[in-house]
Amino acid sequence: MIRLRTDFFAETLGMGTSMVVLMPQAASGIGMEGAADAAADGDDRGVPVLYLLHGLSDDCTVWERRTSIERYASEKGIAVVMPEVRRSFYADEAAGEKYWTFVAEELPELVSRTFRVSTAREDTFVAGLSMGGFGAFKLALNHPDRFAAAASLSGVLDARTLDLSWTGTLGERVWAGQDIAGTADDLVGLVSAADPAALPALFVDCGTEDQLLEHNRTFLAAAEDRGVEVQARLRPGAHTWDFWDQSIQDVLEWLPIREG
């Protein structure tokens, strides 16, 4: 893989920010073998891409530091884009920056202009953990035409009941006491009103000892009521990197990544 830490100015944020990008490389080193790079073989579509989102206490480097995502992605021949969103909940903050607009609009445009990745729906995926699981499903449910598949790992899937009192002023900064029901942040409401045929494939993974288990159960119940098929696993585990390291490997196996 080619690994790039990219620093740039984001117009929607009005400031500099960062992302880490992994690009497939059809080369092998000792103990590691890269998958074939379709574009290197004359395929001008670019490579499939996974937008991989971080959680509340993390940054754009955390997936690399806590898992072997580079090795896992290399075996699949997929690009991985890991953006920095701070503690924004992937929202246009009430008293802050427009991180939703950044992630949903500016980021994919910047990535497609800068890197040799496919922009086709069938080649575009999103996943994340905890707050990032919320971000992944927020993208998938608000823009189902852009993604072939989305995965939430221990995700905040019912922000209507989210208690952020322990974070100090974060809840006020992001939502300013706004009722989330019926908004772009209401994932339960969105899946309850969705056209099942129009949605990307959805994957939910959450530990049965995870504090966000009820969020996941609520979302899955709403999806079932609406007839939305979800690949769901509620399995032993907690809100830990041991859980997510295994989970992201399973997600990569599940994604419908075209062969190079």
The whole-angstrom separation of Cα 238 and Cα 240 is 6
| Number of residues written out for the chain | 260
- Check if the beta carbon of residue 51 is closer than 8 Å to that of residue 126: yes
**CA 220/CA 205 separation, integer angstroms:** 11
pLDDT tens track of the chain, all 260 residues? 999 999 999 999 999 999 999 999 977 666 666 665 555 455 678 999 999 999 999 999 999 999 999 999 999 999 999 999 999 999 999 999 999 999 999 999 999 999 999 999 999 999 999 999 999 999 999 999 999 999 999 999 999 999 888 888 899 999 998 899 999 999 999 999 999 999 999 999 999 999 999 999 999 999 999 999 999 999 999 999 999 999 999 999 999 999 86
Half-sphere exposure of 10 (CA within 13 A, CB side): 26
Architecture of the structural domain at 2-254: 3-Layer(aba) Sandwich (3.40)
Q: pTM (2 decimals)?
A: 0.95
Query: Domain residue spans in the chain?
Result: 2-254
